[in-house]
Amino acid sequence: MAVLPIRTVGDPVLRTPADPVETFDARLERLATDMIDTMYAAPGVGLAAPQVGVGLRIFVFDTQYDADDPTSERRPLVVVNPVLTPGPGVQDGPEGCLSVPGLYFPTPRTLAASVSGVDAAGSPVEYSGEGLLARCFQHEVDHLDGTLYLARLTGDDRRAAQAALRDGPVDPAEAEQAGRELRSLRRSG
């Protein structure tokens, strides 16, 4: 088990499109395992390789796990070389990012989405969902394209995000509290 340091906004790796994975070996499996450990430790519902400083097209996710519920089961999934297919509908709920700690802004996304690709062993996988899961797919594939969710914000939310980033890093205790509040908001619907 290895929890890796998470790169934060301002780090060039987060603005750099990641390369397709071509070699499926023990190193890739280890990267996936470490990314899963890092995601749960944060805690977060998804994590893309550039966030741990690796420019490869791989992300991990688990939108069902509830970090505040000790009985919650972990079911981590890995997608390598994902192809995103946006579905119908729109949603505009709050979105956050482990690389932009403590901040959440309403972010327009499609309501449904699916991803296809392969797992860390190279076997084909495909996942579809709505709501938080669809938001997660769009957010993580954006990371692999070198795009942060901040770039998706519009109007006042965009201006608020720019102002918050100018104010500098959020206090870690405040960031944790904000994360807890967002998770409880999601549980209530």
Which residue, 161, 26, 52, 58, is CA-closest to 102? 161
49 forms part of the interface with Ni ion (CB under 5 A): no
Q: Are 76 and 37 in contact (CB under 8 A)?
A: no
4 forms part of the interface with Ni ion (CB under 5 A): no
| Residue with Cβ nearer Ni ion (24 or 175) | 175
Tell me, residue by residue from 83 to 112, as one string, x for binding to Ni ion by CB under 5 A and - for no binding. Answer: --------------x---------------
Query: Which residues are designated catalytic?
Result: 140
Query: How many residues belong to the chain?
Result: 189
Q: Closest distance between Ni ion and the C-beta of residue 126, in Å?
A: 22
165: helix, strand or coil: helix
* 98: alpha, beta or left? (left if phi > 0; alpha if psi -120 to 50): alpha
CA dihedral 175, 181, 186, 189 (to 10 degrees): -160
133 forms part of the interface with Ni ion (CB under 5 A): no
| Residue with Cβ nearer Ni ion (11 or 24) | 11
Residue nearest to Ni ion (CB): 97
| Residue with Cβ nearer Ni ion (81 or 138) | 138
Q: Are 47 and 60 in contact (CB under 8 A)?
A: yes
Q: Closest distance between Ni ion and the C-beta of residue 137, in Å?
A: 12
Q: Closest distance between Ni ion and the C-beta of residue 68, in Å?
A: 20
Chain positions contacting Ni ion, by CB under 5 A = 97
